[in-house]
Amino acid sequence: MSRSARLLDLVQILRRHRRPVSGRTLADAIGVSIRTLYRDIATLQGQGAPIEGEAGLGYVLKPGFMLPPLMFTDEEIEAIVLGSRWVAKQPDKRLAAAAADALAKIAAVLPDDLRDDLDATTLLVGPRSESIEAIDLGIVRQAIRDERKLGFLYRDAGGAASKRLVWPFALAFFDKVRVMVAWCETRQDFRHFRADRMSGLTTTGIRYPRRRQAMLKEWRAGLDAPGRNGGKDASG
């Protein structure tokens, strides 16, 4: 176990106790000597953890303390790096840049041993998808956050075009395509729109009348309903 992971475990143990816990009990719980335990307590206090007490009396963590995101397990680091690397290779340029920036910020504040693990992870992401969208997915993501209607021209698999006005509430990222999930005013039903078949995207600034979480819940329920697929593709 790395020292950073051990410090995190120590904080988690202290959180479970409202009354002072002896140093010996804490040392046994994390599998270290009492001397190491005292050094760990001092380290956490130096990082701002409100741990009160002293040797012989026990230690208690004041309520409300939140650790900064500096300590991760090996698998958490792998998940962070793999996820960030995958997003960084997506065609959504702003989201890709944000993923790279977020990973750099995390690396900048990690302890040295965890930063080394971050740099050395061997989980890799394959080549970037060749699919290219003619729209800015950042606009779609912003409309979903703001719960605003979007207008665009959509071409189905056969090439037939139709104008749509939709209430977007989710964006799915697949290896080769990105799919917007929305309520379509034209079809009066949930529809799935491939981003590479969308063009002429326009923001209306008009708030749609339902909450996106409510629509997401209803759409998900439709995935499991007999005879439904949670919203047809947009060919209909």
SS3 letters across 113-165: HHHHHHHHCCCCCCCCCCCCCCCCHHHHHHHHHHCEEEEEEEECCCCCEEEEE
Q: Are 137 and 195 in contact (CB under 8 A)?
A: yes
Strand spans (E) along the chain:
51-54, 58-61, 148-155, 161-173, 178-184, 189-194, 198-207, 232-233
**What does the pLDDT average to over 127-154?**
88
Average pLDDT, the chain: 85
> In the chain, what are the domains?
3-61 (1.10.10.10), 74-120 (no CATH), 137-233 (2.30.30)
pLDDT at 184: 97
> Which of the residue ranges 5-19, 55-69, 145-159, 182-196 would you say has the lowest mean pLDDT?
55-69
Q: Where residue 211 falls among pLDDT bands split at 50, 70, 90?
A: very high
Instruction: Give all strands of the β-sheet with 178-184 in edge-to-edge order.
Output: 198-207, 148-155, 161-173, 178-184, 189-194, 232-233
**What does the pLDDT average to over 135-145?**
93
What Cα–Cα distance (Å) separates residue 95 from each residue in 15, 84, 88, 109? 36, 10, 7, 22
**What does the pLDDT average to over 33-48?**
90
Residue 131 has pLDDT above 70, yes or no: no
**What does the pLDDT average to over 85-97?**
87
